[in-house]
Structure 1
Amino acid sequence: MKTLKIISLLALVVIVSAFTINPKNNDKGYVVGDVAADFSLKNIDGKMVSLADYKDAKGFIVTFTCNTCPYAVAYEDRIIALNNKYASKGYPVIAIMPNNTAVKPGDNLDAMKQRATEKGFTFPYLIDKEQTVYPKYGATKTPHIFLLQKTSKGNVVKYIGAIDDNYKDVNAVKEKYVENAVDALLAGNNIPVKETRAIGCSIKK
């Protein structure tokens, strides 16, 4: 009887452990309204960058992107345009490369530097080398956008999803989700669309 009790107790420990050892497995990331934690990631210039560095920012267009995904490449010019339009208004782009570079060597730091130079990136291009930041956000694609607004509570997530509704052709875009969201925040209005499905390549673990 004692042996049976011990076996039952061990079985219970195993079951409980399965749900508690790695809570990140059940973490789907931020939802609109959550306060996003800050991070410290290496930029292509070798310096560490945090959101806290931007004292005068009103918020951030956090963009998970990379060099090797065709969707991300298709959106590069639009990401540059977002920064050009909104950085001076208090909403700079913060680009983060989330892929495992052992799986995607074309996304390593040297390749990131080269791509940023070729495209003339004027925003930080950070590497999530340990892949600890993108899971917190719940990013699943490249590109995947998280619009944050700086408040007294912290950086509140205001929009999650795609940049717009047409990755193939910028001239065929009908809904500019990120632009509409930032414009609404700047005007003090409600964001018309707060979440969309991100279209892109899966993040490589």
Structure 2
Amino acid sequence: MVQTDSDSELARGDAAPDFELPGVDGDTLALADFAGYGAVLVVFTCNHCPYAQAKFDLLNRVAAEYDDCAVVGINPNDAEDYPEDSFERMVEYVESGEVAYDAYLRDETAEAARAYGAVCTPDPFLLRNADGAGAFTLAYHGRLDDALNPDDEATEVYVTDAIDAVLAGDDVPLDPGPSRGCSIKWP
């Protein structure tokens, strides 16, 4: 496991890169498919990384608690070298309830991860539905909470504050630093 901090060049207010990826539910989804939400939390994540696993419960809770913010997990890891991150294992994580996001998508070529500038798992990007019609822009990119290591207990949850600000139509005043996790295992 190689721990790294995110360093995406995508800036707040930039247009969010589109994607079209297969989901564990059998559907292929694009960013435009989430146009009915006021916000979308895109998280580049995986199954095997302890940093990503430590955030499953938080992301599941966000997906359950926010009706107007979709949580979209995207797994870009090389499944050949990391079989725990295969599409089949992703399906198992969802079927077991361990992962309960609004969508869990497979980025087989890691093209979406590269477009966003994601470098670690988890690497969250909170998108604002700028015009209510699916013109998504980046509102927040940073830590989900203040628990920097897998065994740390969070005392502050930044992502819910960020979502609340976006859904209220406000700018996100937070800048807690870059997300941290295992390096993406590039295919």
What residue number does 2:77 align with?
99
Change (3 A) 1:195 1:44: same
Identity of aligned residues (%): 35
Contact persistence 2:34–2:40 (CA under 8 A) = no
SS in 1 for 2:69: coil
Partner Cα separation in structure 2 for residue 140 and residue 183 of structure 1? 26
Matching residue's letter, 2:81: V
Q: Is 1:41 paired with 2:21?
A: yes
Name the one with the larger helix percent: 1
Task: Could you tell me which runs of 5 or more consecutive residues in structure 1 were left unpaired when the two chains were aligned.
Answer: 1-26
Q: Is 1:127 paired with 2:127?
A: no
SS in 2 for 1:101: coil
1:174 to 149, 155, 173: 155
What residue number does 1:116 align with?
94
Instruction: Return the offset for 1:54.
Output: 2.3
Partner Cα separation in structure 1 for residue 81 and residue 111 of structure 2? 16
What residue number does 1:198 align with?
179
Higher RCO by CA contacts (8 Å cutoff, separation 6 or greater)? 2
Contact persistence 1:72–1:200 (CA under 8 A) = yes
Aligned length: 176
SS in 1 for 2:109: coil
Instruction: Return the offset for 1:162.
Output: 1.7
Any residues of structure 2 matched to 1:15-164 within 5 Å, and which?
A: 28-86=8-66, 88=67, 90-118=68-96, 119=98, 121-152=100-131, 154-164=135-145
Q: Provide the TM-score with structure 1 as the length reference.
A: 0.79
Q: Provide the TM-score with structure 2 as the length reference.
A: 0.86
Which of structure 1's runs of 4+ aligned residues deviate more than 6 A? Answer: none
